[in-house]
Each structure stands twice: as structure tokens, then as C-alpha cells.
Amino acid sequence: MASVTKRLLKELHDIRKEPSTAELASLGPVSDADLLRWRAVLRGPRDTPYAGGFFELLIDIPEQYPIRPPTLTFATPVCHPNVHFDTGEICLDILRTQWSPAWTLASTCLAIHVLLANPEPSSPLNCDAANLLRCGDGLGYQSLVGLYTRMFAYSAQ
């Protein structure tokens, strides 16, 4: 447990040196008493139907971190092919098979931000959103995503 605490304190120190970026509005522990549970708020990527939205992520960190990946889920409902709408589960290879201890919580959040702008409809958790993209209905996809962003993500911060 000492090594995970040391790693998380270092990451927290680095985050506090540069607390906010264009992609990441905030990142840090939910409480000072528990370093294994964090919260992040992503800004919607520019030039996407997520723009203007704020998306909350809950981060559960295993005691074996950074050897084992954290579990990140969206607390804000997100309409995206690679995000389960009801549970917030995220389908992203670095959260499973491609994890490396070189990833930090901040870099993992940035990878999720990139995923928002670059959906992968061939491995969907939201088949409705994925089907719109697979059928070439970009306008329908953008309209649906924009609707859900306006409904759920404008006041999430």
C-alpha cells in the first residue's frame, strides 16, 4: 500500500502544479481520507457534439496501482459508442489489455478525452450510437450526442 500511496501523492503533486488544461477541468481525490478514489471532470472536445459539456469521471484505484489499471467510469450520462449509457463503463484498450505503469491518472483521462472525439464503433458498449456511425449517419449521430450533451453535461461541473 505504501508504494501506491507514494505514486498517487506524486501524481497529485504534479496535477496541482498545473491544475487545469483545455481537456481536463479538474482531477483529484474525492476526499483527503481516501487516495484510492478520485474524480475527474473532462471538458467536451472542441469541434465535436460534446463541446461545451463537462463530463464527470469516477476513478477507483486498485492497491496494485500502477501495475494494475484504475477503473474509470462516467458519472455523467454520455452518448458514445464506447461508453455504456447506464453504467458509464468505458471500452478502451489501455484500461484493460494495453495498460502500462507508464500511464498516469491524468494521461488516462486525456486518452478518454481523445476517445470522445474519436469513437470506435467496431467495439461498442452503446450499439445505438455505434450503429449510426456504422451506417454512415454522421448527422444523426451528432444530433443524438449533442442532445444528450445538452441534457446531461452542461451542468456537470
Structural domains in the chain plus CATH codes:
2-152 (3.10.110.10)
Q: What is the largest CA-CA distance in the chain?
A: 50
Residue positions annotated with a catalytic role: 91
What is the reported pLDDT for 156? 44
pLDDT digits (tens, 9 = 90+) for 21-41: 889 999 999 998 999 999 999
* Residue-wise pLDDT tens digits, 105-129: 999 999 999 999 999 999 899 999 9
pTM of the predicted model as reported, rounded to 2 decimal places: 0.94
- Nearest Cα neighbor of 74 from 46, 99, 55, 61 is 55
Residue 157 is predicted with a pLDDT of: 45
Q: Which residues, at least 6 apart from 25, have a Cβ–Cβ distance to it below 8 Å? A: 41, 42, 43, 54, 157
